[in-house]
Amino acid sequence: MRRFITETALLIVVGLILILCIIEISRWQKELVEETVVEKVEPTLLFGIAIDSLEVREGLVGNGANLSTILSATGLSATTIDQLVKRSEGIFDLKKIKAGQPYTLLLEKDSLATPSYFIYEESPIKYVVFNLRDTLGVSRGEKEVIIKHDTLHGTITSSLWVALKSNEQGPALALAMEDIFGGVIDFFGLQQGDEFQAIYETMYVEDKCIGMGRIQAGTFTQSGKRYEAYWYDNDSLGFKGGYYDEQGQSTKRAFLKAPLKFSRISSHFSGNRFHPVLKIFRPHYGVDYSAPIGTPVFTIGDGTVIQVSFQRSGAGRYIKIRHNSTYTTTYMHLNGYADGIREGVRVRQGQVIGYVGKSGLATGPHLDFRVYKAGKPINPLKVESPPAEPIPGNLKPLFIKQIASIRKALAKNK
- Report pLDDT digits (tens) over 162-173: 888 888 888 889
Whether residue 341 is found in the same domain as residue 271: yes
| 135 and 173 belong to one structural domain | no
Among 110, 142, 174, the domain-final residue is 142
Asked if residue 258 lies in contact with residue 182, where contact means CB atoms within 8 angstroms, the answer is yes
Structure confidence by residue, pLDDT tens digits, 10-57: 556 555 666 665 666 666 666 655 555 556 678 888 898 998 889 999
Residues 111, 170 within the same domain: no
Report the CATH number that the domain containing residue 271 is assigned in CATH: 2.70.70.10
Identify the domain containing residue 131 by its residue range: 45-142
Same domain, 84 and 114: yes
Domain boundary, last residue among 142, 158, 180: 142
Same structural domain, 219 and 231: yes
Query: 137 and 180 share a domain?
Result: no
Residue 203 lies in a domain: yes
Does residue 318 lie in a domain region?
yes
Q: How confident is the model at residue 85 (pLDDT cuts 50, 70, 90)?
A: very high
Domain boundary at 122, 142, 162, which? 142
| pLDDT tens track for 223-279 | 889 999 999 988 777 778 899 999 999 988 889 888 998 677 878 877 655 556 555
Query: What percent of the chain is predicted at pLDDT more than 90?
Result: 50
User: Is residue 273 domain-shared with residue 378, that is, in the same domain?
Assistant: yes
In a domain, 409, yes or no: no
Number of structural domains found in the chain: 3
Q: Is residue 326 part of a domain?
A: yes
pTM: 0.67
My answer on whether 269 and 350 are in the same domain is yes
Same domain, yes or no: 186 and 286? no
**Same-domain check for residues 136 and 202:** no
Q: Same domain, yes or no, for 274 and 366?
A: yes
Within-domain flag for 387 = no
CATH of the domain at 197: 3.10.450.350
Q: Is residue 90 part of a domain?
A: yes
